Structure 1
């Protein structure tokens, strides 16, 4: 059976990607959540990950780190990770890779924080450009492949890669166009997304660095987490 190492669900955007893909495929795996420590997590995370980061997948003697590598490892072993249609698969891989390596202003300004609702202080031009690109990219996929997911009828890896963005949009109240907003609502309604969110809100651990980064973005309207 697989073992997937992740960090706090309230913060860990990278962990969400393989976790939700594996849940959507109904794969059996043991989840091991290792909390973020204050400062550098290298030594602690190196106990299970060569890169000293999460997520990390263990499959017997095989150790796979980085969310994209984990997705491709799963795709070699299970159908449904990527779309079956050739053109949809090409597009999905490109869109997932763009998310994996891009959208730096969105990542920096709007760190993932499932527990808070925040009103942004401002949306700088660089951030707005990335929001515009999200609208464009999502609508392209939905229109080309018919929805309700980005590459067609079924949830695939490209949706998993944008799942952390869905939570960011919810947290920071980011305005999207009507078609993209409908996609956000569909994603948030998924039982797997609901499970991640519920478990995140139950976490009592608070990591000061992640909290500070989120608070720097704007004014907190609500904290939905259980109190520690």
Structure 2
């Protein structure tokens, strides 16, 4: 059996690690986790959300090495076509790829202003003006997907899209982003999803190795 390893960073802070890890879990891949040193300068850059492709997540599967989150998704979809990472319908699959790609390449202001921190919870939080259009766009995407596919996940059942937006769900709860009941319900679905519960439990137990993450607002 080919050994698979997923290199990840902090479970509390690293949104890209979470996405890659969820994709591996969803696919059914038998893999082991390989944590990297969170004090490494390149890893800190990733934790500050400046790039989705610094060093983590990185999937090593036999002789194959994949280090971009969407590339990991596509690779896993190719080797596990029945795992349901993308919808079966071609139009829905295209839609799923589009919204996942938008998260992968965009929303820089949202990711910078609302960094993932599963241990934190704010009763209120003022989002700077540059990030508000990103927040509204996420709401729009979620609403359109839930309308089109009926929920409880964006395409009915868990797909790559939910893996890509799962860290946003944690951010919206951490920073008390105001949402309607339907979108709150979607966040509840994601946060109560078994893989997310497993990740969150490990994140909350993680030692405080990183004293502070400074983000420009």
- TM-score normalized by the length of structure 2: 0.88
Structure 1 residue 145 displacement after superposition: 1.4
Aligned counterparts, 1:43-192, within 5 A: 53-79=55-81, 80-119=84-123, 121-152=125-156, 154-192=157-195
Q: 1:94 to 1:147 in 2, by over 3 A?
A: same
2:203 counterpart of 1:200: yes
SS of the aligned residue for 1:116 comes to coil
Check the 8 A contact 2:96/2:161 in 1, yes or no. yes
Count of matched residue pairs:
205
Deviation at 1:86, TM superposition (A): 1.2
Structure showing the higher strand proportion among its residues:
1
> What is the CA RMSD across the aligned residues, in angstroms?
1.9
CA distance in 2, matches of 1:193, 1:121: 24
Q: Matches of 1:41 and 1:155 in 2, distance apart? A: 28
Q: Distance in 2 between matches of 1:142 and 1:121?
A: 26
Aligned counterparts of 2:115 and 2:162: Cα–Cα separation in 1: 19
Change (3 A) 1:66 1:209: farther
Whole-angstrom distance in 2 between the partners of 1:64 and 1:39: 21
Gaps of 5+ in 1: 43-50, 218-228
Structure 2 unmatched runs, 5+: 45-52
Match of 1:35 among 34, 37, 48: 37
Aligned-pair distance for 1:32? 1.1
Counterpart contact for 1:11–1:114, Cα < 8 Å = yes
The answer to whether the 8 A contact 2:42-2:55 is kept is no
> In structure 2, do the counterparts of structure 1 residues 123 and 205 end up closer, same or farther at CA, with 3 Å as the change threshold?
closer
Scaled by the length of structure 1, the TM-score of the pair is: 0.84
State whether residues 3 and 57 of structure 1, in contact with CA within 8 Å, keep that contact through their aligned partners in structure 2. yes
Preserved CA contact (<8 Å) 2:146 2:155: yes
